[in-house]
Amino acid sequence: MSANDTQSVVTQVIQSLVEAWNRRDSTRFANLFRADAHYIDGDGRWLKGRRAIAGLCGGAGETVCVVGEPSIRVYGDVAIATFHWEGVANKSIGGIITCVIIKNSTGRSIVTLQNTDFK
């Protein structure tokens, strides 16, 4: 797979992440992560494992979108993606997410994600 193909797949993972969040689909959201993934949310909570990560999505308030193009750097089977997000209705909320996405037997999975909210 070329670097451009990998970037396309990683972009799809990001789009799926945002779509699952906006639909409050905690199962789909969590399944984008490895079972042993880590997620640090905008409040600094460190969630470990898919089950804990799934719990984030159910209480989500704002519908969000990705602003601009994500920065995607590919290193073999590992990709690091950084992107800016903001609220659709409330543009005063937003943040920057950096996640590490690895290749696996079924495609790509997020192994770690950190969200830094803008306050």
**pLDDT 10s digit of each residue in the chain, 119 long?**
676 788 889 999 999 999 999 999 999 999 999 999 999 999 899 999 999 999 888 766 789 999 999 999 999 999 999 999 999 988 889 999 999 999 988 889 999 999 999 86
Q: Which long-range contacts (CB under 8 A, 24 or more apart) does 52-61 make?
A: 53/29, 54/26, 54/27, 54/29, 54/30, 55/26, 56/26, 56/29, 57/20, 57/21, 57/24, 57/25, 57/26, 57/29, 57/30, 58/24, 58/26, 60/21, 60/22, 60/24
What is the per-residue pLDDT for 91?
Answer: 86
What's the pLDDT score for residue 3?
Answer: 67
Note if the pTM is more than 0.75: yes
